Amino acid sequence: MSQIELRGNFHEELNIVSDTIVTLAAHVTEAIPRATEALINNDLELAQEVISHDDELDLLSLQIEERCYALIALQQPMAIDMRSIVTAMKINGEYERSGDLAVNICKGVRRIYGISLSPTLRGLVTSMGEEAVRLTRVSVDAYAEGSEGLAAALPDMDDRLDDLQADFIQEIFAAHSRGELKLEETVQLALVARFYERIGDHAVNIGDRVMYMVTGESTESAGAARARAAQEGDEAE
Amino acid sequence: MVRLLPSKERLSKGSRVSAEELAADVAVDAVASEQTAPTDAIIDDDMPESDLVFNVSDLSVYYGDFRAVRDVNMAIRPKEITALIGPSGCGKSTVLRSFNRMNDLIPTARVEGTLLYRGVDLYDERVDPVEVRRRIGMVFQKPNPFPKSIYDNVAYGPRVAGQKKGLDDVVESSLKKAALWDEVKDRLNESAIGMSGGQQQRLSIARAIAGDPEVLLMDEPCSALDPIATARIEELMAELKDEYTILIVTHNMQQAARVSDRTAFYSVEVDEKSDRRTGILVEYTNTEKLFSNPDDERTENYITGRFG
């Protein structure tokens, strides 16, 4: 049977949504190494650029959201179309938050201006930044390609970032006890490490959403699984 | 598993038996006969076959040499709404009409395969089609009130069936169930022709209900109605589901999604050589599943408008 596209305009609109998501993700992917660079080089100007540029990301994110609302209201999307729109709306928020976290790192740069990081800490920050970028990039590749495989790889990749964060925090506590870092600096650096770690978590969430888009199955978190088991136990009684 | 034929005693009399009587036989004999009925119908959870309202196995419907629809397998559960959707010519209305033998009225039409209603083969020659249509009522695309009073429209079926007493009660309860009573109770003797389209369609539903059916077949019941009248009928269907099993053919996918528990997607298969078109059942599953994550790519393409 010949394939005749019946809802060309609608599907064109859907493509615009996913293209815009990819654009947003690309901006975020660029913001992260810039934040890392600002942190390592004590570069306040660069930090300010990242902070200012985030307004554009927020606008992009708002536009994606509004376009999705319009498509739902006007087109009654079904099946893959419905799943694509829901996924776009969900991951839109995840990328927007990751962009905010890059901003938060840059604000941390301002607060600890002037400190010099030990080579070990620099190395760990660089690695955390690289992992956060890699996770974000793989998440957007998974989305753009509709790839279950790439989405499934994200949780394992995120474990590495989590380990780096743990190492980093251990290292700053040690530096603090050696008197190399003040308490405020130690706290700020711990927060910065947490910001990188959160970027990884958002990428993992995006992977879950891509899984849903591709397979139609929602990922059940460990907590949700426990609550479901508890509820089913109650019902059985 | 049920016995498909009436008892020997009845066979020897050579009389026609109603589906109801057959069903009564079946209930008695159900335990004894485990070997007969086909089991390859689509049953996606654990309802025992004896509880199904319809069980369709390898059903094909022909008009003369032309096979309109082929190899349909469907199990219909009690007190659910099942929607049949698909492009024109996919055989969905043909299948719907076969559920109460309306195709009998077309001289060249015939069916192959089995269509069990409560375990009874509807196309068994001993089954009385008039009784079938009483048990399995139908509502058509266009409201078709008789040029009679509202009361006489609803009382028509029971009267034809020979009922003389208690007609007032039947009319009242049928109109109430059809959510029409409050609008017409003061003008029951006025002509039904003066009613609005939506009211006429609800009158058609009341008329079908008056015969005390178990099943209502609806063939695009809202296609001639405005959105408000359509919404009323959809609300009504949700209420009627408490008492009746409903099958609906609709061209409106959103309607199928809104009202039904299960949806069957039919499509058209074209034979390249002969250019013959045959309807097929592509996918039959829970409505939520079908519209959010269908298994078959042909379903996906149809409901997302990627093919026409």
- For chain B, give every domain's residue range: 37-303
Range of the domain at A49: 3-236
Q: Are the C-beta atoms of residues B217 and B117 closer than 8 Å to each other? A: no
Q: In this structure, what is the dihedral angle of CA atoms A49, A50, A54, A55, given to the nearest 10 degrees? A: -10
- Find chain B residues with C-beta within 8 A of A3's C-beta: 301, 306-307
**CATH number (domain holding residue A117):** 1.20.58.220
User: Is pLDDT of A197 > 70?
Assistant: yes
Q: Are the C-beta atoms of residues A99 and A28 closer than 8 Å to each other? A: yes
User: Is pLDDT of B211 > 50?
Assistant: yes
> Where residue A114 falls among pLDDT bands split at 50, 70, 90?
confident
- Give the residue carrying structure tokens 């700053």: A172
User: Is pLDDT of B145 > 80?
Assistant: yes
Quick check: pTM over 0.90? no
User: Is pLDDT of B30 > 50?
Assistant: no
pLDDT of B46 reads 67
Lowest mean pLDDT among A212-216, B30-34, B69-73, B300-304: B30-34
Question: Which whole number is the average pLDDT over A186-210?
Answer: 97
For residue range B75-126, list pLDDT tens digits in order. 999 999 999 999 988 999 999 999 999 988 889 999 999 999 999 999 999 9
Name the minimum distance, in Å, from the CA of B233 to any CA of chain A: 21
- Find chain A residues with C-beta within 8 A of B305's C-beta: 5-7, 10-11
- Find chain B residues with C-beta within 8 A of A81's C-beta: 304
Q: Which CATH class is domain B37-303?
A: alpha beta
B211 vs B36 pLDDT, higher one? B211
**In a mutagenesis test of the A interface, which of B260, B267, B306 is the best target, namely the one with the most A β-carbons within 10 Å?**
B306
Question: Which whole number is the average pLDDT over B39-55?
Answer: 69
Q: Are the C-beta atoms of residues B305 and B289 closer than 8 Å to each other? A: no
Distance CA(A78)–CA(B299), nearest Å, equals: 11
pLDDT of A1 reads 44
Which chain A residue's Cα is nearest to B257? A78
Domain count for chain A, please give it: 1
Which chain A residue's Cα is nearest to B302? A6
Q: Are the C-beta atoms of residues B64 and B285 closer than 8 Å to each other? A: no
> Is residue A171 left, alpha or beta, with left meaning phi > 0 and alpha meaning psi from -120 to 50?
alpha
pLDDT of B10 reads 37
Which chain B residue's Cα is nearest to A213? B293
Q: What percent of chain B is modeled with pLDDT above 70?
A: 84
User: Is pLDDT of B33 > 60?
Assistant: no
Question: Which whole number is the average pLDDT over A19-42?
Answer: 97
> Where residue A116 falls among pLDDT bands split at 50, 70, 90?
confident
pLDDT of A209 reads 97
Q: Quick one: how far is CA A87 from the chain centroid?
A: 14
Q: Is some CB atom of chain A closer than 8 A to the CB atom of B300?
A: yes
